[in-house]
Structure 1
């Protein structure tokens, strides 16, 4: 017995909404991590932070309709590079390099796999953001000015090209900019005194990565459902 293309499409059609359960690992780990920040439990913060990106990797692989597709491979690569950035950020430049590589992986992913439209007009705000932020922080970065500029350019490009993707990825890119901006201000201009800075950095970072993964899964499931499907035997 064989199933038709329409049958396969119907079988995949409801999958994006049904796959919310795959985010359960990041929701659980993320809530524990954020609660530990608010409750000033540094030990819990320290052991939960390295679990954040692996939790998203589990969700991505679990929810992907085609786990070996280039889209999923690039997504996993970006998350693993982010994970290394998370655990090495105490050595700021080392962590910065790995997050830079993660953003480059996301850039490739957004341009080659997830793009659905042109770069949106509102993405120009990222150029303005970069100029303003570097103007504010430039004198405070010292010897790190060039690495910070390079990172800012790649980050803003990643967020701009995220606007070419579905709304989940676009929002993820925007929240990444918010997270890294607060991180930069908190590091180089601590006198700014951002309330609950650590919490703001992490809640926007977790949300950014989760939205990008969710957008990737929605895109992949829609692609698989819409693609021509050769008749295949059942059973």
Structure 2
């Protein structure tokens, strides 16, 4: 498994990571307290702070993997914030559109490492089963949204599968991202899905998932920095 030792982080990167952690605590506390205003505003800062950390911690020059991950974080930020400018179904569609683009960016980032993933291994069928079960659970209530939900589900599952190529940390991040978006889908389309403090669990898994993916990307970028052709070879696991 790829590991990025904390002692190698520069001072500014530590500040960025600390700021991200603080914003995450504020946001999740607001979710638990049902302080919607604080939760909404604090969410605006999560992905920019995580991206700031990656920019500061990644080796120069930034690899294709890092650049595409930054694009995915930017699109995720738009998915977090742009729905505030719309209402109802339009807001939901805007969120899905930007997060779909974020998944595509992650897929593009991880694709060169696919040989080290579970894409063609028996474990990959587990992800297929999860997506199939999710679609089956959402289908009765999805209506006209079933087709876009299916496309998003396939992209989300592929992102999670490909994240396994970067090691256990990124793989856990991809899985948590999958869990987070699955809860959103179930909350939108399945009448029976109403867990307590749903927003807290959605955001806790989302924040942890994105952070772990970034740590996995950072470790991969550091392990291959300066290695010719590294982007097309598998990362150590």
Range of TM-score over shorter length: 0.7 to 0.9
Q: Please state how far the C-alpha of 1:92 moved relative to its aligned partner.
A: 0.7
Counterpart secondary structure, 2:207:
helix
For residues 17 and 117 of structure 1, the distance between their equivalents in structure 2, rounded to whole angstroms, comes to 25
Counting only pairs closer than 5 Å after superposition, residues 32-47 of structure 1 correspond to structure 2 as: 32-47=26-41
Counterpart secondary structure, 2:165:
coil
Cross-structure match for 1:126: 127
Structure 1 residues 118 and 192: CA distance shift in structure 2, 3 A: closer
Counting only pairs closer than 5 Å after superposition, residues 117-196 of structure 1 correspond to structure 2 as: 117-119=116-118, 120-196=121-197
Q: Please state how far the C-alpha of 1:59 moved relative to its aligned partner.
A: 0.5
Cross-structure match for 1:17: 6
Aligned residue among 41, 53, 65 for 1:59: 53
**TM-score for both structures, normalised by structure 1:** 0.84
Does 1:107 pair with 2:107?
Answer: yes
Q: Which has the larger radius of gyration?
A: 1
Aligned residue among 60, 75, 96 for 1:81: 75
Cross-structure match for 2:97: 97
For residues 15 and 79 of structure 1, the distance between their equivalents in structure 2, rounded to whole angstroms, comes to 20
Q: Please state how far the C-alpha of 1:188 moved relative to its aligned partner.
A: 1.4
Give the length in aligned residue pairs.
213
- List gaps (5 residues or longer) in structure 1: 1-13, 229-235
Q: CA RMSD in A?
A: 1.9
For residues 123 and 212 of structure 2, the distance between their equivalents in structure 1, rounded to whole angstroms, comes to 19
Q: Please state how far the C-alpha of 1:67 moved relative to its aligned partner.
A: 4.8
Determine if contact 2:117/2:161 at 8 Å carries over to the other structure. no
Between 184-193 and 53-62, report the one with greater CA deviation: 184-193
- List gaps (5 residues or longer) in structure 2: 85-90, 229-237
| Deviations 1:85-141 (CA, angstroms, capped at 9, x unpaired) | 1113451111101101100110011112x5571425322211111111111110101
Counterpart secondary structure, 2:19:
helix
Determine if contact 2:31/2:199 at 8 Å carries over to the other structure. yes
| Deviations 1:10-53 (CA, angstroms, capped at 9, x unpaired) | xxxx9633238352222111110000111111111111111110
**TM-score for both structures, normalised by structure 2:** 0.84
For residues 184 and 159 of structure 1, the distance between their equivalents in structure 2, rounded to whole angstroms, comes to 16
Determine if contact 1:107/1:157 at 8 Å carries over to the other structure. yes
For residues 86 and 116 of structure 1, the distance between their equivalents in structure 2, rounded to whole angstroms, comes to 32
Does 1:227 pair with 2:227?
Answer: yes
